[in-house]
Amino acid sequence: MPPPPPRKPGPPVRAAVPTSPTKPKGKPTESFIGNDSQTMMSDETFAEFEARMKAEEGAAGSTNTNPALEPDDDEPETCAGLDEQDEGEDLDDDESGSDEEDSDSDSDDEEEDAPQKLGPGGRPLDRFGVEWDYVSHEGMGFNDDEDEDAMTFEKNGKTYFKPDWGKLRPSQWVEYWKVNFALEAAQGEDDDDVYQAALEQHGFRNRNHWKRVQHTFLRHYGNDPEFTDAALEARQAQTRDAMKNAVKPGMLDPIEGVSLQVYASIAAQQMSVTGPAFVKLLAKHKLDEAKFARVSEAWMARMSDQSDPMASAAIMTEYGKAFAAGGVGQYGASAQEASGSMGINDKVAGKNAKGAAGSMTFDRYVEVMTAQGCWAQQGKDANQMLKKVFNMTAVDWSNASAYWSQKMSTDIKLMTEQFPVLQAKYTEKYMAGVDDPDSDLDV
């Protein structure tokens, strides 16, 4: 028997993202980050904000000459943080800003010996009532060659961070996550020199610079599901790169003149073509049954070789692509179209995978998947039941999976919201009346 098509990859781990404001609708802009919700999520770029402020100051006949804030002798250097606060405060009103500064000055002496107040996260509050964070306060600091003034701006006596996207554009979500994963791997080496080299390779001066870029992206897009989808897509791309790099010369070479693509095509048709028809199919490729058996055994050995699991996975992935490209069975047309983004050299398609036309619905896909799992637990022949209940063959199921496995593995909502609900529904249906096989075990 030919090897089954490769299993779809398991759901990637969802990237952890902190709570943050919802991103503005429309095209991402290089909006700057302030310490209030209105400023932080403004659609203006920093250059546009600066020009507007100058125009307003000119019209008022005054110039904002507030110096950069200096910390008290017994207080760490502070810049206004990134958390939302004082949403009702009008920071464009110079008079209200001056009143606040006077109030701060009057209270400095009174608070000098008072216990440091803590914010909701348990960290101290700065002079503006903003909780310290690793981007805007001394914990990250400015310990590189960049001038602090190049990263901050003053508004009504308060210091704000400009967004720092590094060498990335705000819309480059997949690229951001690729960098994130690469730096995570480098940091895992527990070697500061290795990590520093990786930072510089990706255009960061040091880890503090990277943290500022990281926080900029998360502050703007951390609550957007599509930003998390980009993380899943980047992780799959990383895995494909690893598989591609694991393939050594000769691993994908034909066996007795039979390429992996030809072998997969024959294997896909083998389940529906038997007897004289199968002999005729082999003859088209100048094969007989004995030679095909040898070729099949050799390809299966390459795909199951555990001496290099990543290389074996690469061969299985290419086999799956060729199997789907055969276009056999009820969902052959859908699988053939979806195969264009399944290989180790293909770009991850994710939610943009082709093959929707002619594919089964997602509800049906989850039902068939769940039913097979339930039958396996009950000791039933999944192939027989698949034919009896759904009038499908193993090839049909494989081809239906070619499209939905790509969609689900890079769509966090599909994976974490729709799939579990449908799976629970169909587990109840196909396990109804079946005793729990583990009910007699002592726990």
What would the pLDDT profile of 352-396 be if each residue is shown by its tens digit?
889 988 889 999 999 999 999 999 999 999 999 999 999 999 999
Q: What is the mean pLDDT of residues 54-72?
A: 48
**Closest to 402 measured CA to CA, from 316, 313, 322, 339:** 339
Which of 362, 337, 231, 253 has its CA nearest to residue 298? 253
Q: Is 190 left (phi over 0), alpha (psi -120 to 50) or beta?
A: left
The CA dihedral of 44, 46, 50, 56, to the nearest 10 degrees, is: 20
More confident residue, 162 or 398: 398
Place of tokens 């052959």: 332
Counted residue by residue, the chain has a size of 443
pLDDT band at 141 (very low <50, low <70, confident <90, very high): very low
Radius of gyration of the chain measured on its C-alpha atoms:
30
> Tell me: the pLDDT tens digits for 10-50?
333 333 333 333 333 344 443 444 433 333 334 455 556 56
Does pLDDT of 303 surpass 70?
yes
Q: pLDDT, tens digit, for every residue of 272-289?
A: 787 889 999 999 999 999
Domain boundaries, the chain: 173-246, 260-430
Are the C-beta atoms of residues 359 and 400 closer than 8 Å to each other? yes
Q: Check residue 135 and give its pLDDT.
A: 46
Mean pLDDT of the chain, nearest integer: 75
DSSP annotation string for 236-295? HHHHHHHHHHHPPTTTTS-BTTB-HHHHHHHHHHHTT--HHHHHHHHHHTT--HHHHHHH
Torsion of Cα atoms, 218 then 219 then 225 then 226, to 10°: -70
Look up the pTM and report it. 0.63
| Of residues 327 and 59, more confidently modeled | 327
Residue range 45-57: average pLDDT? 63
